[in-house]
Amino acid sequence: MNADARGIVLMVRDRQDDAGNIMRLRLASADGMPLPQFAAGAHIDVQVPGEESAVWRQYSLCSDPADTEQYEIGILKDPSSRGGSIALHERVRVGTMLTAEGPRNHFPLDETAEHTLLFGGGIGITPMLSMAKRLHALGSEFTLHYCTRTAAGTAFRADLETAPFSRHVRLHHDDGPQEQRLDLARDLPPPDGATHIYVCGPSGFMDWVISCAEACGYPPATIHREYFSAKIDSSGDSFEVEARESGVTVTVGPKDTIARALARVGVKIPVKCEEGVCGTCLTSVLQGIPDHRDKFLTDEERETNEDICTCCSRAIGARLVLDV
């Protein structure tokens, strides 16, 4: 495997521009060696080529976890993004070399569930594809609900219609007949403690599915989520942060972040998404109460106040002590 201190080097083996402004890339090891294994739900961090400073974006692996010859990712060309996806669409061609890190998995599949419900909205279908392939290989019971705005803008549609697990797939389009659209009152079965739900997609879609599942009585431990992006307000009152291991204390201003404030005094916490969704900057809290602004930690993890996403979260009170 061709790798360096920044991660692994991947070569673009194939590019397919699919419906819905989604670019599908098949990536292979630059030196022809097998790729690191991954479990369903995993993602890789991809460095955007051509940028003066390192810009990283996270993309779920939608390929079969049993395949170590190539990874597949889907990248939405989103005009409202911070530019990473647009740059990749413009610059990546067959043969392009990309630096990546991972795979990492913050969205693991519970393979012991008796039944699994997969809800993918738009580009949120990508981790669900990997999960569906794994569940099919295990012979598990599952249903994949894929929601898009239009039938014509549905990426991966041909693959799903011909997949060996196609009988498990339900397609829902906003421009389709009413009975074909996702209806959670109909499509969300009563909770039984043995059914697990996985949801990924736009924040509004995810919040809807999650709130309906919670209202139906699904236990929190059976509802799994992964946010691709989030609108985060990281501003607030000033507070102090002590980096206990480094022996320094900084003031985090009203429009500053913990990670940036510490970086200015030489305490560098790795940051990738800057939106509180990837968990790269997660740091242990020794004292103080975090004001959690992220979408990465679960409600149960927030209640413990043991960790904080330093790219966006702040402090309740005047001071935090971090183990960094």
For residue 261, what is the enclosing H or E element? Answer: helix 258-263
pLDDT higher for 160 or 78? Answer: 160
Nearest to 100 by CA among 30, 201, 41, 39: 30
CA 86 to chain centroid, in Å, comes to 18
Least confident of 118-122, 183-187, 267-271: 267-271
Residue 292 makes CB contacts below 8 A (sequence gap 6+) with 302, 308, 309, 313
The helix/strand/coil state of 126 is helix
**What average pLDDT does the segment 23-28 reach?**
98
Nearest to 122 by CA among 47, 65, 68, 174: 174
Q: Is the pLDDT of residue 51 over 90?
A: no
What whole-number percentage of the chain has pLDDT above 70?
A: 97
Q: Which of the four pLDDT bands, split at 50, 70 and 90, describes residue 1?
A: very low
Whole-model pTM?
Answer: 0.83
Q: Is the pLDDT of residue 124 over 50?
A: yes
Reading the block at residue 82, the tokens are: 């911070």
Q: Which range has the top average pLDDT, 33-42, 52-61, 293-302?
A: 33-42
Q: Is the pLDDT of residue 182 over 60?
A: yes
pLDDT at 298: 83
Reading the block at residue 205, the tokens are: 């879609």
Q: Which of the four pLDDT bands, split at 50, 70 and 90, describes residue 2?
A: very low
Q: Which of the four pLDDT bands, split at 50, 70 and 90, describes residue 46?
A: very high
CA atoms within 13 A on the CB side of 78: 15
Reading the block at residue 128, the tokens are: 């669900």
First CA to last CA distance, the chain: 31
Residues in a beta bridge with 308:
283
Reading the block at residue 175, the tokens are: 């421009």
**What average pLDDT does the segment 24-28 reach?**
98
CA 256 to chain centroid, in Å, comes to 24
Domains of the chain with CATH codes? 3-104 (2.40.30.10), 115-227 (3.40.50.80), 239-322 (3.10.20.30)
Q: Which of the four pLDDT bands, split at 50, 70 and 90, describes residue 3?
A: very low
pLDDT at 49: 87
What whole-number percentage of the chain has pLDDT above 90?
A: 80
The helix/strand/coil state of 113 is coil
In whole angstroms, give the CA distance from residue 31 to residue 118: 35
The model's pLDDT over 137-158, given as tens digits with 9 standing for 90+, comes to: 999 999 999 999 999 999 999 9
CA 77 to chain centroid, in Å, comes to 16
The model's pLDDT over 93-115, given as tens digits with 9 standing for 90+, comes to: 999 999 999 999 989 999 999 99
The model's pLDDT over 265-298, given as tens digits with 9 standing for 90+, comes to: 999 998 887 888 888 899 999 999 999 999 888 8
Q: Is the pLDDT of residue 258 over 50?
A: yes
Nearest to 59 by CA among 25, 35, 87, 90: 25
Q: Which of the four pLDDT bands, split at 50, 70 and 90, describes residue 5?
A: very low
pLDDT at 231: 74
pLDDT at 99: 94
In whole angstroms, give the CA distance from residue 291 to residue 238: 12
Q: Is the pLDDT of residue 4 over 50?
A: no
The model's pLDDT over 222-250, given as tens digits with 9 standing for 90+, comes to: 999 998 777 778 899 999 999 999 999 99
The torsion angles phi and psi of 5, rounded to 5 degrees, stand at: -65, -20
Q: What is the DSSP letter of 107?
A: S
Rg (CA), the chain: 20
What integer best gives the mean pLDDT of the chain?
92
